[in-house]
């Protein structure tokens, strides 16, 4: 028995929240100011975005691990 | 139960009766205090001398209410994840802790600045760096302009924002540094949050939004934002991550109710510690750096 689809999707939720905030507070905000300098400043958040993308890859790998079954963790 | 937030498919056990009681107490406490301060902020602004929002865009009630729904949605994503992976008890402790920890910290700074003159008169030895001298136009440190729901003088969107940013950054730090010690993961979580703020603050304080207004600049500023603000983002999430991961040990030792009290007691002590730290930092910076410095790119 594998981890349910919903439980797999759930693991991306915190990253979605971070991206949502980044999009709404920073990206959309910078666009609305109409200031090209503020848009370019967005590159300073590249490390955080890379970390989030790396986390997405890690989650994907964890979900594919055969050991990652509720039966084997014994917690379900 | 695992000591850290994971993405391994584990589903946390349902809370027992004692944990449920703690969850209810925190939940009711958050709702009641938020309602109280929301009524105080909008209905009786003279009590805490809330500054006028005249000339500040997007501050009408329907707009601020709609804007508050966005952080509610983003916070729900993290709370749901926390509830499933860590259990309702620890999810609520994380929500309540980050909400109150940051709400009190932000409000403390706002009110210390707002009542700087009164405090200066009462405490002549208190350093200006702590109380804030303000600019010629506005006195104080800073204040938020926009929000429908409020916790003391911090809008709910900022308190919830701290919750989901802290949760997602601690989670990502655990994922990308799975074998690192707690200290390193906490540092990584704090840096991830601070990194987002490097862009968020210059955008949100732009004339178009004025989501919050800085009345006082630091001796060192980055993109025209006080360095102490970025240090604050890092410190709050770093310290919170350190304390939160010790919660399972506290529960084993004292039980769920006492562990929650101890956890919040430690957070409150840290609030005081951060205040003292920034007081010392401000005093040293004012002595060593006579004129404010702004580290900038493209003049921002």
ipTM of the complex: 0.89
Model confidence at B223: pLDDT above 60: yes
pTM of the entire structure?
0.90
Interface of B with A in 82-101 (CB under 8 A): 84-85
Mean pLDDT calculated for residue range A32-54 = 94
CB-CB under 8 Å, B164 with A25 = no
Quote the CA–CA distance of A63 and A9 in Å, as a whole number.
Answer: 10
CB-CB under 8 Å, B198 with A44 = yes
Residue from the list B168, B173, B206 with its beta carbon closest to the beta carbon of A38: B206
- Tokens at B115, concatenated: 């009542």
Q: What is the mean pLDDT of chain B?
A: 90
Which residues lie below 8 Å from residue A5, measured CB to CB, with a gap of 6+? none
Mean pLDDT calculated for residue range A19-36 = 94
Model confidence at B2: pLDDT above 90: no
pLDDT at B277: 93
pLDDT at A72: 37
pLDDT at B4: 73
- Range of weakest confidence among B22-31, B175-184, B240-249, B286-295: B286-295
CB-CB under 8 Å, B223 with A18 = no
Task: For B40-106, give the DSSP string.
Answer: HHHH-TTTTTPPP-TT-SS-SHHHHHHHHHHHHHHHHHHHHHHHHHT-HHHHHHHHHHHHHHHHHHH
The predicted-structure confidence for B105-160, as pLDDT tens digits, reads as follows: 999 999 988 998 888 788 776 655 555 554 444 557 899 999 999 999 999 999 99
Q: What is the mean pLDDT of chain A?
A: 84
pLDDT top residue among B130 and B224: B224
Q: Which of A8, A14, A28 to mutate to test the interface with B (most CBs of B within 10 A)?
A: A14
Q: Where in chain B are the domains? A: 17-295
Q: Which long-range contacts (CB under 8 A, 24 or more apart) does B25-33 make?
A: B26/B92, B26/B93, B26/B95, B26/B96, B26/B260, B27/B92, B27/B96, B29/B96, B30/B95, B30/B96, B30/B99, B30/B100, B33/B151
pLDDT top residue among B84 and A71: B84
* Residue B187 confidence class, pLDDT cut points 50, 70, 90: very high
User: In which residue are the tokens 């030792």 written?
Assistant: B253
The predicted-structure confidence for B38-66, as pLDDT tens digits, reads as follows: 999 999 999 999 999 988 999 999 999 99
Helix, coil or strand: residue B179: coil
Q: Which residues in A lie closer than 8 A to residue B188 (C-beta atoms)? A: 51
Interface of B with A in 256-275 (CB under 8 A): none
pLDDT at A75: 34
Cβ-based neighbour number of residue B49 at 10 Å: 12
User: In which residue are the tokens 């979900």 written?
Assistant: A63
Torsion of CA B59, B62, B199, B136, to 10 degrees: 10
Quote the CA–CA distance of A36 and B73 in Å, as a whole number.
Answer: 29
């Amino acid at each position: 028995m594998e981890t349910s689809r919903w439980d797999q999707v759930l693991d991306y939720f915190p990253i979605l929240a971070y991206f949502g905030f980044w999009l709404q507070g920073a990206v959309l905000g910078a666009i609305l100011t109409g200031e090209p300098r503020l848009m370019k400043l967005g590159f300073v958040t590249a490390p955080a975005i890379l970390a989030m993308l790396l986390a997405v890859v890690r989650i994907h790998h964890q979900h594919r691990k055969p050991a990652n079954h509720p039966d084997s963790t014994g917690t379900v | 139960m695992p000591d850290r937030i994971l993405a391994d498919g584990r589903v946390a056990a349902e809370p027992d009766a004692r944990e449920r009681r703690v969850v209810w107490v925190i939940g009711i406490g958050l709702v009641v205090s938020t309602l109280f301060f929301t009524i105080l902020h909008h209905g009786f602004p003279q009590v805490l001398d809330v500054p006028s929002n005249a000339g500040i865009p997007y501050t009408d009630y329907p707009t601020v209410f709609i804007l508050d729904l966005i952080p509610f949605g983003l916070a729900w994503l993290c709370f749901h994840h926390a509830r499933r992976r860590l259990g309702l008890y620890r999810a609520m402790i994380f929500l309540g802790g980050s909400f109150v920890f940051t709400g009190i910290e932000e409000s403390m700074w706002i009110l210390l600045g707002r009542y700087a003159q009164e405090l200066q008169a009462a405490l002549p030895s208190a350093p200006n760096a702590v109380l804030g001298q303000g600019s010629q136009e506005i006195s104080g440190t800073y204040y938020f302009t926009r929000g429908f729901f409020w916790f003391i003088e911090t809008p709910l969107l900022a308190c919830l924002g701290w919750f989901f940013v802290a949760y997602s950054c601690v989670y990502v730090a655990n994922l990308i540094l799975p074998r690192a010690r707690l200290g390193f993961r906490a540092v990584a979580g704090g840096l991830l949050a601070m990194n987002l703020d490097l862009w968020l603050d210059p955008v949100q304080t732009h004339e178009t939004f004025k989501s919050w207004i800085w009345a006082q600049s630091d001796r060192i500023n980055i993109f025209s934002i006080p360095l102490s603000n970025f240090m604050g983002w890092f410190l709050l999430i770093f310290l919170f991550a350190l304390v939160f991961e010790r919660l399972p040990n506290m529960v084993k030792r004292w039980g769920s109710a006492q562990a929650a009290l101890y956890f919040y007691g430690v957070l409150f002590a840290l609030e005081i510690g951060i205040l003292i730290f920034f007081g010392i930092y401000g005093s040293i910076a004012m002595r060593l750096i006579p004129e404010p410095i702004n580290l900038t790119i493209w003049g921002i």
